[in-house]
Amino acid sequence: MPKRLVSWVGSANDPETPFPLNNLPCGVFSRGTEAPRCCVAIGDMVLDLAMLEDLGMLDGLPTVFHQPSWNAFMAEGPDVWARFRRIVTGLLLDGAPVEAQVSPALVPMAGLRLHLPLVVAEYTDFFASEDHARNAGKALRGADDLAPNWVHVPVGYNGRASTVVVSGTDIRRPWGQILPAGAEAPVFAASGRMDFELELGAVVGVANRHGTPVDLAQADQMIFGYVLLNDWSARDIQAWEARPLGPFQAKGFATTIGPWIVMREALAEARCAAPDRHAPLLPYLADRAPTHFDIELLADLITPDGGVTQITRTNYRRMYFSLAQQLCHHAINGCAMRVGDLLGSGTVSGPEPENRGCLLELTWNGATPLPLVDGTLRTFLEDGDTINLSGHAQFDDYRIGFGTCSGTITPALTLSQRD
């Protein structure tokens, strides 16, 4: 049975903290005008790894923690990842004789700035929740028209890496081509159907050579860790542009990830069986060992007046394909995967209305507005609305959490601002 590790950092022992000693998620932080550098979260503090490195407390590890991203560390590979966890766990464990030396490297999380924890090499998004796929078909076209390939192929598309931003970054409402209802020609307008998509992301930490596929077990081990991911979507732009080559500008304006990469090893106890499949998987995708995780995922919508409505509660375990399966499929044609690649699971939904992971499903494409705690209704996101994603794997007396992945919609540029 998973066992909680007790730390001399008191707040890490709170059963409700997302960041117990068992977690140690990877972030990048700064205060004021300081240079961003690597840290891990522990309770309500972050541990400044650059300072520990300077103090000589990280002997046996590469000197990469002054970097403003985890890419250099990730590139060191799984043995170094495991050694890192052993060393840092040893420093923070209750009774460790180094408390006095390590304490100066603890910084209260409140008030510091968290940056994008990785340089995103490339970004790929998938489409693997059966409930999401069926609901989207029904809400958009009135048809439960799951494509015949869906139960066999981890369906995905390449996304845009340059617009992946960290939690807390404002999301500007994009302009684009939109076909008004009943019209034959599109207009150029700001999106009126802004949506979020609640996803889990995987960060690739091991590259494969171009031309050399990997098997599922290898793919699983290539994943450095997992993040919360919000695949912002402009549904009106998407509806008009997506035939026949799929989503493009409706997604490429922004994708938000959480500030914390939860290392794969920290989620080892959360592994769980995959859902029943409707058809046998091809052998390269067959999951003989579990690659799914039991991770509870939540979305809150916060209106400009501060009212918080929990609008989604779902679980990553329901996904038809895991991120490891998606990564294996991504490389099966010999595609070169790189350190820093980001894969999105696809919207995580579930069988009940409260499990729906985006407003397209929650409001049935705007047909049934969602009541919020402040008495207002939402079809799609309005300017000033904030979406907060959170998630954790729950054990008896602790949880492995991801923190918060947050973004606020800001008004579209006016035409004169665009000039």
Q: What are phi and psi of 270, to 5 degrees?
A: -95, 0
State the sign of the Cα–Cα–Cα–Cα dihedral 275, 273, 404, 13: positive
- Using only C-alpha atoms, the chain has a radius of gyration, in whole angstroms, of 21
Q: How far is CA 101 from CA 55, 56, 57, in A?
A: 8, 10, 8
CA-based diameter of the chain, in Å?
73
By CB under 8 A, is residue 408 in contact with a second copy?
Answer: no
In whole angstroms, the minimum distance from the beta carbon of 229 to a second copy comes to 16
Nearest-5° Cα angle at 108, 105 to 113: 100
Per rule CB under 8 A, is residue 168 in the interface with a second copy? no
Residue 360 makes contact with a second copy by CB under 8 A: no
Which entry of 132, 292, 330, 392 is annotated as an active-site residue? 132
Contacting residue, 184, 288, 306, 414, with a second copy by CB under 8 A: 184
Shorter beta-carbon distance to a second copy: residue 98 or 153: 153
Please provide the DSSP assignment of 49-69 as one string: HHHHHHTTTTTTS-S-TTSSS
| Residues binding a second copy: number (CB under 8 A) | 65
Part in contact with a second copy (CB under 8 A); list of ranges 170-178, 265-273, 303-311, 364-372: 170-178
Residue 3 to residue 5: CA distance in whole angstroms: 6
Say whether residue 175 binds a second copy (CB under 8 A): yes
Q: Would you state the structure tokens that stand for residue 311, as one six-digit string?
A: 């609008």
Residues 135-164 that bind a second copy (CB under 8 A): 147-149, 152-153, 155-163
Closest distance to a second copy from the beta carbon of 304 (Å): 20
Distance CA 91, CA 49 (A): 12
Nearest to 317 by CA among 351, 345, 348, 293: 293
By C-beta, is 41 or 133 nearer to a second copy? 133
Residue 132 falls in the annotated catalytic set = yes
The residues of the shown chain that bind a second copy, judged by CB under 8 A, are 121-122, 127, 147-149, 152-153, 155-163, 165, 172, 174-177, 179, 184-188, 210-211, 213, 215, 234, 237, 240-250, 252-254, 279, 282-284, 329-330, 332-338, 413, 418-419
